[in-house]
Homo-oligomer: A and B are copies of this chain.
Amino acid sequence: MEIKTALLNITKTQNSKIDQVDFSNLPFGKTFSDHMMYCDFVDGEWQQPQIVPYGPMQFDPSTKVFHYGQAVFEGMKAFKDEDDQVWLFRPERNFERINKSSKRLAIPEFPKEYFMESLKTLLTLDHEWVKKGQGNSLYIRPFVIATENGVAAAPSTSYRFMIITCPARAYYDVPIRVLFSEKYSRAANGGVGFAKAAGNYGAQFFPTNIAKSKGYEQIIWTDARTHEYLEEAGTMNMFFRINDKIITAPVSDRILNGVTRDSVIQLAKDNNIEVEVAPVEVKRIKEAAKKGELLEIFGTGTAATIAQVLGFEHGGFVHELPKLKNPYGGFFKKKLQDIQYNRAEDIHGWRFGGY
């Protein structure tokens, strides 16, 4: 497959690793495909993007990203249809969001043509790394890191934008149980919660470990001010089904504007499922649970697509959700995957590519 582009400089691998990979046994995010993209911002501008064999790079110990967490990322997936064509899902959303994240972290915005052309080139070069079949995908991780050497607490003058990809099977295979946070917080008003800033994630690991020790895989974060409103789960936005209506928190400067979240809201509208986008009071959810009206909780995110929640705990109140025959979560998951794998009509133009 020949690739012609003046935008990128391409060095193909001489030693594909693909034959060493067991695609039936892939822990998430540990195996990377043959190529990656990097692009340096120096002297006030983004240089030519480089497509090179995946591999380690040298960094000075004073590199700013190590000290000041000036870094943002995105998560995307590519899917292969039965005709061996590879598709992205709403990649412009991820492009817009990484630049929004970058802006908040004082990182220069990245050019759109570099982003889109790099994705196309990587998916063409590493076409064989995207496997057909339900649940299989190529997880795509664009990220930007501050690369200036020096420990002064000031924005970096140089950056590296990278895209790495890894073959993936379903992220959350099993349904999860969640803990509603009562003490720890993910984001402040006027902070960086809406951004996919690296530091937002590291900050969640300790409280999540505590939740795990109690038997809960994830925390649903509540607002830092009162802990009375459910916000997001850190890697997923959350939906709550009361009777036949689904409720999700509005995006804000604390809550990430998830692509899957947005798509589920649209799919609900398309299918005459009532959606309420409003602050989700813990009290309301607990009361609905007690009355038997809380039928589902599910999370939405690129890695998980839809993760069905089995039960939750809050303030000593433990609740198991009913096991529905046809949950909305499963319905939305199928709708999304049918579009992603090019098995269904795509009325909103979400599918992109066909590489």
Contacting pair B71 A66 (CB below 8 A)? yes
Q: A69-B201, A106-B202, A181-B190 are in contact. List 9 more A-B contacts (CB 8 A).
A: A61-B162, A67-B73, A106-B209, A139-B151, A153-B201, A189-B225, A192-B203, A197-B203, A224-B225
Contacting pair A62 B224 (CB below 8 A)? no
A235 contacts partner chain B, Cβ-Cβ < 8 Å: yes
Contacting pair A30 B67 (CB below 8 A)? no
Contacting pair B153 A69 (CB below 8 A)? no
**Which B residues are in CB contact (< 8 Å) with A162?**
61
Shortest CB-to-CB span from A97 to chain B, Å, is 15
Would you give 29 A-B contacts (Cβ < 8 Å), ordered by A? A27-B152, A30-B149, A30-B150, A30-B152, A32-B62, A38-B61, A55-B60, A56-B58, A57-B58, A57-B61, A62-B166, A66-B198, A67-B71, A67-B141, A69-B69, A69-B197, A69-B198, A105-B202, A105-B203, A106-B209, A139-B151, A151-B166, A154-B205, A184-B191, A197-B203, A198-B199, A198-B202, A224-B224, A225-B225
A85 contacts partner chain B, Cβ-Cβ < 8 Å: no
Interface class of chain A by DSSP: loop
**Which B residues are in CB contact (< 8 Å) with A58?**
56-59
Number of copies: 2
Complexed CA–CA distance, A66 and B144 (Å): 8
Closest residue of B by beta carbon distance from A221: B190
Q: Which of A183-223 contact B (CB under 8 A)?
A: 183-192, 197-203, 205-206, 209
Contacting pair A190 B199 (CB below 8 A)? no
Interface residues on A, range: 35 or more
